Chain A
Amino acid sequence: MKYLLGILLLMSLAFKSGDTKSVKPYSHSKLNMYGPSDVCMSEGGNSLYIVGDDGYLYETDLVGKVLRSSKRVGWDYEGVCQDEKFIYVADERGRRVTLFDKVTFEPVKTFPVQYGGAMNYGFESITYNETKKCFVMVSEKNPALLYEFDEKFQPFNQIEMNEIGEVSSARYYKGFLYLLSDEKMTVYKLNPITYSIISKVKVPVNNPEGLCFDNEGNMIIVSDNMQSIYFFKNPEL
């Protein structure tokens, strides 16, 4: 028995994680939608795009009040980002990225994005890495694999994100890539070229699934299970 206890002690030391800075939301509000899974800021910073588990894309004001929604064309929307022309939505179970016209809110093109893991462990994140001029999507877990895609969503690079292990959102912001881990409730700041971790911050929110930043660097997080949007002061990562 003493050997077993010794092994458990060694394991506990090996797996013990270091202290991580934690931030608390200064405000939050309920979202009138099912399963909010990701959020991104519109180009002008005047509204938010939010996607939901039931395959809808929403545009909301800056506190999450729904302004308009798309038709139900998706299956399981889990990631969203945008550029000057389109809104890009990652359909996790559908294994595809759908482009929506910003004006009409209609789907205009769909790219298949194959992944062999479990249907609900697919891509929950999408963002455009402006430093490397490519799209980045990360499979949720088992394993968490970061893929780089060209503008026709052809993959050309794959990196294992073992240290993070589980990823529910990705966001490129002011020269850095940020990944959100739902299970660890942690936001990681990464080098956008090497994808090495620079710093991290804990966000004590149940089931955080979506991440973006406003123009002042304040952090916005949506929670699927809590069906809420949370606002954090600039964490200065």
Chain B
Amino acid sequence: MKTKIIITIVLLTLLAGRGFSQFSITKGNSGLDIDGYIITEYEKEFYPSGTTDMHNNKFTLGYAVLKFKGVSNRDLRYETEIDFSGLAANPDNATMSIGDDFVKQFWVEYRGLKNVCDIKFGLNKVPFSHSSLTGEHNMIFLQRAYMIRNAFNRRDIGVTLHRSLWYKKINIYAGAYTGMGGLSLGGDNDASGNLEYVGRIEFSYPEKYKDKSEADLVHLPTPVFTMGANARYTEKSINTGKDLITMVDGKKTGIGGDINLKWEGLNINLEFDQFKIQPHATSPVNLENKQTDYYRTGGVVCMANYYFACIRSAFGVRYDEYNLNDLAIGDRQKDVCYAYNFFFNGWKSVFKIQYYQILKDPNTQALWTNNQIRIGYQFMF
């Protein structure tokens, strides 16, 4: 049976491998691209013996994204991106709801202020963390590192200013956002009404900073080195008691950095992100009864992979370490992920396998999740 399933998956992906994609409409200096991508995966979690609830063993529609990308009169750009996998079903009461990620991007950018900056308004990725800014369809792993998914808001509504220098080898971003992440779509800010401020600077050499994908599919003969540094700050008054890390009742200051190298099929990414969280005195959550008014959260992501052009395959390994609270003993997770990708047609059609292994901290109080394997297929249309 297992063999039949494997052969079926491989044959289906072979059939889809030659699919051609993306369509456009143009008139004068304006145009509209219609495209998207689907990532479907099977997830199997290795539960401890005796477990009766194994609800995570399932097929998942990871992403079902439809995008409209347009340009109006050369200098005005816009993008809408809807992820239909964000229509989440609740199996307990058989109802559907709209998740925070249903609307992924809705923005307009004006690039007409030459030698000043580009201005982007709307819902967009916050310019923080190389791993976060990499699109899921350009990743060799089926899931981002835990820290990237849980330590900060990846998207928000606001305004972003962008300036390129030295033929785009240097990019500078600065932005102000509601600071509520996906909840910003609800229309209201928190009680404080404060915004979140984010800045990022990127440097690339000898090429311009263009490609944030996780694999070197063309085997660049000249190595391309990129690095980025970013910071963010906000002070919120959240009293929901929910999500104490991505949004906190207090001040949250974050810094991070990333280094990346692509060369001859090799791709290396190193990233660290650290956040200092100062809860309001009225709700000193997570201070673990210590004589301090702040705690830190953050970690590192280290990834390396190699693309073998002759077999159209990439093999990768990723080490993630995330400390949820530096004041709490054992509140640290480490894991190693292994990935295999077979590229039928570049990133357009990819078969992906990811094995996720938890490295137990001797002081860990509770295992956050179990080892798991994910097998998926990505198709971009």
Inter-subunit contact A93/B3 (CB<8 Å): no
Cβ < 8 Å to A, chain B residues 1-33: 3, 6-7, 10, 20-24, 26, 28-29, 31, 33
Interchain CB contact under 8 A, B29 and A117: no
Query: Which residue on chain B has the smallest CB distance to residue A166?
Result: B346
Contact B20 A16 (CB under 8 A): no
Residues of A within 8 A of B218 (CB): 182-185
**B313 with A93: CB separation less than 8 A:** no
Question: Which of A94, A117, A227 is within 8 Å of B22, CB to CB?
Answer: A117
Q: Is the CB of A119 within 8 A of B33?
A: yes
Of the listed stretches A130-138, A169-177, A201-209, A213-221, chain B binds A201-209
Cβ-defined partner of A225 (8 Å) among B71, B208, B219: B208
Is A121 an interface residue when CB atoms closer than 8 A count as contact? yes
Interchain CA distance A117-B26 in the complex, whole Å = 10
In the complex, which of the residues A4, A16, A142, A225 contacts B348, with contact meaning CB atoms closer than 8 Å?
Answer: A142
- B35 neighbours in A (Cβ, 8 Å): 118
A226 touches B310 (CB 8 A): no
- Measured between alpha carbons, how far is A121 from B24 in the docked complex, in Å? 10
Q: Out of A8, A34, A122, which one reaches B342, CB within 8 Å?
A: A8
Q: Does A95 contact B (CB under 8 A)?
A: yes
Once bound together, how far apart are the Cα atoms of A49 and B331, in whole Å? 62
Contact indicator A118/B24 (Cβ below 8 Å): yes
Q: Quick check: B24 and A225 within 8 Å, CB to CB?
A: no
Contact between A94 and B167, CB atoms less than 8 A apart:
no
Known: A11-B312, A95-B26, A119-B33. A142 touches B71 (CB 8 A): no
Residues of A within 8 A of B224 (CB): 206
| Residues of chain A contacted by B168 (CB below 8 angstroms) | 34
Task: Name the B residues within 8 Å of A183 (CB-CB).
Answer: 217-218, 346
0/1 string, B293-310, CB within 8 A of A gives 1: 000000000000000011
Secondary structure type dominating chain A contacts: loop
Which chain B positions have C-beta within 8 A of A7? 6-7, 10
The reply to whether A118 and B313 contact each other, CB–CB distance below 8 Å, is no
Chain A, Cβ-Cβ closest to B308? A12
Known A12-B311, A95-B26: A227·B6 in contact at CB below 8 Å? no
A93 touches B221 (CB 8 A): no
Given B10, B221, B311, B313, which contacts A205 in the complex, CB threshold below 8 Å? B221
Q: By the criterion of a CB under 8 Å from any partner CB, how many residues of chain A are at the interface? A: 36
Tell yes or no: A104 within 8 A of B by CB.
no
Q: Is B242 an interface residue (CB 8 A)?
A: no
CB < 8 Å neighbour of A119 from B28, B71, B208, B346: B71
Q: Name the A residues within 8 Å of B206 (CB-CB).
A: 226
Chain A: CB-nearest residue to B210: A225
What per-residue 1/0 map shows which CB atoms of B137-173 lie under 8 Å from chain A?
A: 0000000000000000000000000000001100000
Q: Is B222 an interface residue (CB 8 A)?
A: yes
> What distance in Å separates the Cβ of A88 from its nearest Cβ neighbour in chain B?
19
CB of A156 within 8 A of chain B? no
Chain B: residues with Cβ within 8 Å of the partner, total of 40
The answer, yes or no, to whether B74 is at the interface (CB within 8 Å) is yes
Q: Indicate if the CB atoms of A12 and B310 lie closer than 8 Å.
A: yes
Q: Which of B21, B221, B342 contacts A185 (CB 8 A)?
A: B221
Residue ID in chain A nearest B262 by CB atoms: A206
Q: Could you tell me the distance between the alpha carbons of A206 and B220 in the complex, rounded to whole angstroms?
A: 6
| A15 part of interface (Cβ distance < 8 Å) | yes
Complex CA gap A7/B7 in Å reads 8
Contact A206 B207 (CB under 8 A): yes
Distance to closest chain B CB from A216 (angstroms): 25
**Which residue from A4, A15, A116 sits with its C-beta under 8 Å from B24?**
A116
A residues near B74, Cβ cutoff 8 Å: 55, 75
Bound-state Cα–Cα, A118 to B311, Å: 28
Q: Given the complex of chains A and B, what is the CA–CA distance between A207 and B219 in angstroms?
A: 11
* Inter-chain contact A142/B20, CB cutoff 8 Å: yes
Pick the residue among B22, B312, B345 that contacts A118 (CB under 8 A): B22
Q: Bound state CA distance, A183 and B22, in angstroms? A: 19
A203 — nearest CB in chain B belongs to which residue? B221
CA gap between A143 and B23 in the complex, in Å: 12
A17 to chain B, nearest CB (A): 7
CA distance A8 to B23 in the complex (A): 32
Q: In the complex, which residue of chain A has the Cβ closest to the Cβ of B75?
A: A75
On whether the beta carbons of A94 and B10 are closer than 8 Å, the reply is no
- Residues on B with beta carbons closer than 8 Å to the beta carbon of A205: 221-222
Write the chain A residue with the least CB distance to B264: A204
Contact call A3/B310, Cβ cutoff below 8 A: no
Q: Which of A117-150 contact B (CB under 8 A)?
A: 117-119, 121-122, 142-143
Task: Give the B-binding residues of A (Cβ under 8 A).
Answer: 3-4, 7-8, 11-12, 15-17, 34, 55, 75, 93-95, 114-119, 121-122, 142-143, 182-185, 204-207, 225-227
Q: Can you give 25 A-B contacts (C-beta < 8 A)?
A: A3-B7, A7-B7, A8-B311, A8-B342, A12-B313, A15-B310, A15-B311, A16-B310, A17-B310, A34-B168, A55-B74, A94-B28, A116-B23, A118-B33, A119-B33, A121-B22, A122-B24, A142-B22, A142-B345, A205-B222, A206-B207, A206-B220, A206-B224, A207-B207, A225-B208
Extra contacts, 4 of them, besides A119-B71, A121-B22 (Cβ < 8 A), are A7-B6, A15-B311, A95-B26, A206-B221
